[in-house]
A and B are shown apart, each in its own frame.
Chain A
């Protein structure tokens, strides 16, 4: 049956609420409205106001409240309305959510899921389109997960809610209403496993979240250029699957990492470094990155210039030392 990612996430929340009385869902506008993206649609009507409820409009409060509720034995799933609106909660996330297990030698765990609609491509005005995954991925103690397909959205969210550790669950907004065949409920590969979405022999495209469809489209377009590209979907940034990605690059000998976030000090930089460390002798070319520009997220009429698209990916693939010549891009340096 064709389903949207938004509906798959909604179904995952409903199934988790039905399966476990300890699960509670709260945030801003998640009750009667069902969330600004309708991810919590119908949950309050079905499960009651104790289990799905609106809170005061204060993100640090929402996450801190979830910490306390988790300490009492519950499993809170909270919604940050937009990526940039989660920033007030950052101290709670970095100092408590991520660290309580460690600070208490495992005595206290806070199995919270923080859902963050993130990234752009939806024509959103400022503060609604940030790719904030690197902040969380850089914070030990958090798991950072981002689905790229409809059935994976369901599977990863169910696993996030059952996971003993806190999970920042990053939902690519531009994929919310893309539809695909999916048979729910479903359980896919567990956390820590990347998935090859398209096999190929010539080069590996590594992507996550909103960049995965871009990578797949680029791989399709590359066939016309004579390149057979493999696409790996990272799925869980933390824990990271070095094994699958390393195996793919050792096969293909070439790698491009794609992310929508600004490239500098981003998750893609980490992946490129890891691949290079582990695959040096298998590489025929430097690992290249295709990323958003190092700018604050632009206004809607300019976002297409910022977002890495198929052409930018193909330009990078073309620079993968096919004729073993110095990269013209760095010639001036």
Chain B
């Protein structure tokens, strides 16, 4: 290709100078570093105007529910070992995320939890026995979702993200200012429904907060096999959704970031994506062996970042907590666990004939036939027991 002198002149730096328009995508990007308001040792970091610290009484309640949540979690693990639960996916180590997120929403908002959010649900005030129904195995969901504005704990990964988008849109359509909070894990961000959910929410400007707890493993598979993105929070920009990343073991930061995200959604600005960097201290469930895929040194390093100890240190230093308060909360937690233990040690009653009750609003003729068959089988078995 030949170039004329004129063309060279036209391409000179002076004539090519243009004003670069602001890149709208930049405003959607998260901070390069996770938001952190407390250092790992619990000392406060410089305050941030964009993430004001929640009031002291809220932080005290956050601490109280985290302590109760952790005690609930250890109790559930113990109940599993005793055969009272079929399985239990622990969220130990993720207390700041579990409790911080639900404290950021109102009772009238809707929460879309996964199977790992048992602690979040008890922190939301749902009866712990009803929360554990799924894992105890006497039914699939123990609470009434319409009463507690909480969807059943979702096992099919990421599918709840689209429900959250639809619910938030439906609520807005009917003139209510409900926000939907969708929990999701790092592995599930690879599922299509995460992308469809965040895209639908963005297109319809639905008030949803997508809260990713990146606990580093999807059962055994590390984050590097889920994504090549710089962080999961970066997945928002492609959908036109602003995002933030937060230190998921900093309870103050989690609550501050979620509070802002919820306010963003409620103000009609559309969805918001938050990624919390945290760690699952226990195996995936009691049926998993985490030593096959991660080493003890890694777990130990995260033990030093314990969110409960971190908040306690901070609140003691601020004078919000003292020995007496800590002891009283610990006592509450013990009482909570003791009551749960007692109630869970009672054998739940299950009714085989109830299997036919909620398949349809009214059972089909075929289900009525099958119910009669089961009724006859039960009667025969009962008669046999009587004979024996």
Contact = CB atoms under 8 A, between A and B. Distances in A.
Interface of A: 24, 50, 55-56, 58, 60-61, 63-74, 76, 88, 91-92, 95-96, 99-109, 140-141, 143, 163-165, 192, 238-243
22 contacts: A55-B203, A56-B199, A61-B165, A65-B163, A65-B200, A68-B166, A68-B167, A68-B170, A69-B167, A71-B110, A72-B171, A76-B166, A96-B159, A101-B358, A104-B140, A104-B144, A107-B144, A164-B361, A165-B360, A165-B361, A238-B364, A241-B365
Contacts, number: 154
A206 to B, nearest CB: 16
A24 to B, nearest CB: 8
A138 B187 CA distance: 30
A50 B178 CA distance: 18
B366 A108 contact: no
Contact of A143 (B110, B171, B357, B360): B360
Given A164-B361, A243-B365, A105 B200 contact: no
Interface in B339-365: 354, 357-361, 364-365
Interface residues of B, number: 43
Interface stretch (B189-197, B260-268, B311-319, B375-383): B189-197
B368 to A, nearest CB: 10
Nearest to B239: A56
A102 B167 contact: no
A58 B170 contact: no
A56 B200 contact: yes
B145 A108 contact: yes
A298 B110 CA distance: 47
Contact of A61 (B144, B152, B162, B364): B162
B169 A68 contact: yes
A322 to B, nearest CB: 32
Contact of B192 (A60, A72, A141, A243): A60
B374 to A, nearest CB: 15
Contact of A239 (B168, B174, B178, B366): B366
Given A60-B193, A165-B361, A192-B365, A69 B166 contact: yes
Interface string B129-148: 00000000001110011110
Given A65-B163, A108-B146, 12 more contacts: A64-B159, A64-B161, A69-B169, A91-B159, A95-B159, A96-B163, A102-B140, A107-B145, A108-B152, A109-B361, A163-B361, A239-B364
A61 B366 contact: no
A64 B141 contact: no
B141 A104 contact: yes
Interface string B73-113: 00000000000000000000000000000000000001000
B181 to A, nearest CB: 13
Given A61-B196, A102-B359, A91 B364 contact: no
Nearest to B208: A68
A241 B166 CA distance: 34
A151 B163 CA distance: 34
B156 interface: yes
Contact of B163 (A68, A73, A105, A243): A68
Contacts of B163: 64-65, 67-68, 71, 96
Given A68-B162, A68-B163, A61 B365 contact: no
Q: Give the one of B166, B168, B173 with max A CB within 10 A.
A: B166
Contacts of A163: 361
A71 B166 contact: yes
A70 B197 CA distance: 16
Contacts of A24: 173
B159 A73 contact: no
B315 to A, nearest CB: 37
